[in-house]
A and B are shown apart, each in its own frame.
Chain A
Amino acid sequence: MKKKKNRGHSAEVWYRLKKNKLAVVGMIVIIIVILVAVLAPVLAPYSYDKQDLMHTFAKPSAEHLLGTDKFGRDNLSRLIYGARSSLSMGLGATVLSCIFGLTLGAIAGYFGGVVDNIIMRFCDLFSCVPYLLMCVVISAILGPSLMNAIIAMSLAHIPGSARLLRASILSVRDMEYIEAAKAIDSPHAHTILKHVIPNAIAPSIVSITMGIGGCILSGATLSFVGLGAQPPLAEWGCMLSEGRSLMRDHMELVLLPGIAIMITVLAFNLFGDGLRDALDPRLKN
């Protein structure tokens, strides 16, 4: 008799994920980008703000593999350090918004009633303003900087993640195993942490993964309009902004950061898609 290995839920998900080629590609790219960001000082041949006014707009060569920009700064190095800034915007904003958004969503979903009402009405208030506009406004109020852009994005993102988790919890809340937990006198905190969240978190995990890509994009947008990372910080959106006016003669200044953003966001999306499919309980049987 063939021995079936006991696969826990997470192991099952991992197994299904591995079989999805596109998701695996996405995962690999994400890992590469993260490694690049973390090892930037080691990988980049130059510092991101080292100017060399004698060799501006240089063509790709042995010293500058991807050429230089209008200040003679090495494009490759700026691209590598850019990974750091962009990724920190994406991850930072997402993590921050998760902590608050998920907590609010969990409380609203689990307890329902008045508590739910109050929290959701607050979220509605925030949702009235388009996301990007909200980010712009908060950034402008706080002052343009990378950190403030991260704060702005996470604030704007809280209602969305709260609402998503709440919806998921509402469907889990009526399951009999929650009733069973009540029957063995499980305290609220225990029920939420052990029973509700693990079973309701799937859509949120997918949303978080896709959200990182989205935040990288929004972060780049904010930097592009001057509200996020400030020069001379190398951030892909910033680089796009600086390169815009020179696009006609120096396409590479726009193409390089543009492609970097595209590949990174695509990788997160592919991974998120694959994760959604792997988590789908309908595929279980």
Chain B
Amino acid sequence: MENDNLLEIRNLFVEFHTDDAVVHAVNGVDLTLKKGETLGLVGETGAGKTTIARTILGILPKPQGEVTGGEVVFEGEDILKLPERGMRKIRGDKIAMIFQDPMTALNPIDRVGDQIAEAISLHNQIGKSDVRLRAMDMLEMVGIPRERYNEFPHQFSGGMKQRVVIAMALACNPQLLLADEPTTALDVTIQAQVLNLMRDLKKKLNTSVILITHDLGVVASICETVAVIYAGEIVEYGTAEQIFDHATHPYTRGLFDSLPSIDDKDVKLKPIKGLMPDPTNLNPGCKFYDRCEYATAACKDTHPEALDIGEGHLVRCLHIDNGEGGAK
């Protein structure tokens, strides 16, 4: 068995307990990530993507959030079993996370350079001046002049704030970077700049990245593998080429059909009917059942397994025929 897998998530189940009911946020997720690979985790609101990231980092809200099954194996060790002390060593150092909103991710009363320096000094026993130098190097690496070390977050624009956040995350050269919708809050032109930056950096530092997003365009521009998540399950997984050129699962295809395209002329939008299912009351069979135009009676009760339809392209659907999910 090859084991240059940096991260392996096996059969992960996560629940949230509220006063009224139990939310089944993650339902049996399997994922692997190699060193230097960029995986796009695509899904809509409530699909469970952020929950997975939080679980990896061990920052699920307690006591509501609970891992009820599965393993998260990082560098050969199940980090779900690590005590908080052990996780603290990993967070920021080996696994780092970038959150969605750059406006609130930075401490407004701390200098920008100091915030990066803090990330460094928490995990490295080196002298203060060395820490400062390294922080300045990080600033330059993300395209911000070193002289701006002493400035405060409010003096930076949204795009630049996000660069600082990236600098903080990469300051300790982590093996794994979790990026939760890192460009969603940014303008399109700034998004392009930040994506370019991320592409360069990950190549330079050979960082593995899990990019969480709902934007298929962003996935196409930066990810090598893609996992499509719906109602806490991976419904389709494959290389970028497999997903974009041969999307199979009806949900994935529905996502592509919902997008108004820049290229095609006047193609009518084909939205997916209905809404995301209630996570407190999920269908035991196929979770996409009530929105799928190809659903049959079997789909309601039978839970589809993830089938390999060729070269590692996995699809979770009962009706696959000639590479068409839901097949007639």
Contacts and interface: CB of A to CB of B under 8 A. Distances in A.
A and B together in one complex:
yes
Contact of A1 (B19, B21, B281): B281
A19 B278 CA distance: 25
Contacts of A2: 21, 280-281
Interface of B: 19, 21, 278, 280-281
A13 to B, nearest CB: 14
A19 B280 CA distance: 22
A270 B281 CA distance: 36
Nearest to B21: A2
A2 B278 CA distance: 10
Contacts of A1: 278, 281
Interface in A33-74: none
Which of under 10, 10 to 19, 20 to 34, or 35 or more describes the interface residues of A?
under 10
Contacts of B281: 1-2
A2 B280 CA distance: 10
6 contacts: A1-B278, A1-B281, A2-B21, A2-B280, A2-B281, A19-B19
Which 5 pairs from chain A and chain B are nearest by CB? Answer: A2-B281, A1-B281, A19-B19, A1-B278, A2-B280
Nearest to A19: B19
Contacts of B19: 19
A180 to B, nearest CB: 23
Contacts of A19: 19
A19 to B, nearest CB: 8
Nearest to A285: B18
B284 to A, nearest CB: 13
Interface string A1-25: 1100000000000000001000000
Contacts of B280: 2
A19 B19 CA distance: 10
A219 B241 CA distance: 78
A139 B19 CA distance: 50
A3 to B, nearest CB: 11
Contacts of B278: 1
A2 B279 CA distance: 12
Interface string A80-115: 000000000000000000000000000000000000
A109 B278 CA distance: 40
Contacts of B21: 2
A158 to B, nearest CB: 36
B281 to A, nearest CB: 6
Nearest to A283: B19
